[in-house]
A = this chain, B = another copy of it.
């Protein structure tokens, strides 16, 4: 079996920086003189608490998080947040705005509707979520406790390029574009992100909560689902190894020049790929031009019968994970922070070559 690392466009769990994986390998079977691996030491041990503290410090530096923000590392996945957010913050008898721009945002709305009466402020469903509904058409409620949205829609390849306007605090599912661009923190009450796209392996969800927002939560909550429990102290065993990997990814991100640095590279990567799509006769982007995601590039072939062949041949060339989600079809290249520029260059080269071979290239049509 080949031990070569290939170009990985998986939508999540997704590519991690190679140097992070190699550093983790070096720290097996013994972590820094502790006599055991990180997977085997107490979450109350100095070695582990230093890892978690470093992860928090790095996040604070990367995002400019002030003292008003709590940083939580929770298990259960971002899907648990779909329930936990309204459980804590949807007021009994009150409401909150939900903007539904894709599958995950819709799931968040459905969970809130199990607990109370969220307001469906906007939905992109009739366009099969190919665009972000214009904010001018949203139906926001004046008494909304918060506005929930999903900043990047992995499946459909759309992304908010402007922060939503609201009189209430924003709550954002940032799972698939967390730390890929700056955030205007003052507008938010809570931001959550499953790690397995941009910041680490599956198994931990980072939750940022502003203190004043946290203090207005509902009472009588189950202990594990009360954000206050985890903001106050390390209540139970965290997903130790996942947090350890996140700490390393955050260190790598700082070495890339932080969020400004990675945003520059992300813009370059996405630009290369969308330019290749727009310049061709064979490929067409799925998402509306203005709402195109810098993280997940969705595209179809003008001749859909060729799509399975595209994926098979790409795979043979070492370009992995390009098959689109079944609800969109076609292809999806997930090019999160850790996806290197070289991977996108290799994909673009393959796309050009495939187009020529299939007789659909612009010049082949001359």
**A121–B108 CA distance with the chains assembled, in angstroms:** 39
**A6–B33 CA distance with the chains assembled, in angstroms:** 10
Q: Is A82 an interface residue (CB 8 A)?
A: yes
Which residues of chain A from 223 to 245 have a CB within 8 Å of any chain B CB? Answer: 223-225, 235-242, 245
Of B40, B203, B237, the contact of A16 (CB 8 Å cutoff): B40
Copies of this chain: 2
CB distance from A278 to the nearest CB of B (A): 28
Q: Which DSSP category, helix, strand, loop or mixed, fits chain A's interface?
A: loop
Interface residues on A, range: 35 or more
Taking a contact as CB atoms under 8 Å apart, the answer to whether A223 and B40 are in contact is no
Taking a contact as CB atoms under 8 Å apart, the answer to whether A42 and B11 are in contact is yes
User: What per-residue 1/0 map shows which CB atoms of A28-46 lie under 8 Å from chain B?
Assistant: 1110111111011111010
Taking a contact as CB atoms under 8 Å apart, the answer to whether A13 and B1 are in contact is no
Q: Is A271 an interface residue (CB 8 A)?
A: no
Residue of A37, A111, A318 with most partner-chain B CB within 10 A: A37
**A317–B249 CA distance with the chains assembled, in angstroms:** 35
Q: Is A194 an interface residue (CB 8 A)?
A: yes
Closest to A240 in B: B202
CB distance from A4 to the nearest CB of B (A): 7
CB distance from A79 to the nearest CB of B (A): 4
Taking a contact as CB atoms under 8 Å apart, the answer to whether B25 and A39 are in contact is no
Taking a contact as CB atoms under 8 Å apart, the answer to whether A320 and B35 are in contact is yes
Closest to A315 in B: B35
Q: Contacts of A241 on B, CB cut-off 8 Å? A: 201-203, 241-242
Residue of A18, A34, A39, A83 with most partner-chain B CB within 10 A: A39
Q: Is A222 an interface residue (CB 8 A)?
A: yes
Closest to A30 in B: B3
Q: Is A61 an interface residue (CB 8 A)?
A: no
Known: A37-B16, A241-B241, A241-B242. A30 touches B2 (CB 8 A): yes
Known: A30-B3, A77-B236, A240-B201. A12 touches B42 (CB 8 A): yes
User: What per-residue 1/0 map shows which CB atoms of A4-28 lie under 8 Å from chain B?
Assistant: 1111101111111010011011001
CB distance from A327 to the nearest CB of B (A): 14
Q: Is A204 an interface residue (CB 8 A)?
A: yes
Taking a contact as CB atoms under 8 Å apart, the answer to whether B239 and A75 are in contact is yes
Q: Is A189 an interface residue (CB 8 A)?
A: no
**A77–B230 CA distance with the chains assembled, in angstroms:** 13
Q: Contacts of A83 on B, CB cut-off 8 Å? A: 222-225
19 A-B pairs with C-beta separation under 8 A: A3-B30, A6-B35, A6-B36, A10-B36, A10-B42, A12-B237, A13-B41, A28-B28, A39-B245, A75-B80, A76-B76, A76-B80, A78-B236, A82-B223, A83-B223, A107-B223, A201-B240, A201-B241, A203-B203
Using a CB–CB cutoff of 8 Å, the interface residues on chain A facing chain B are: 1-8, 10-16, 18, 21-22, 24-25, 28-30, 32-37, 39-43, 45, 74-80, 82-83, 87, 107, 110-111, 114-115, 194, 196, 201-204, 220, 222-225, 235-242, 245, 318, 320-321
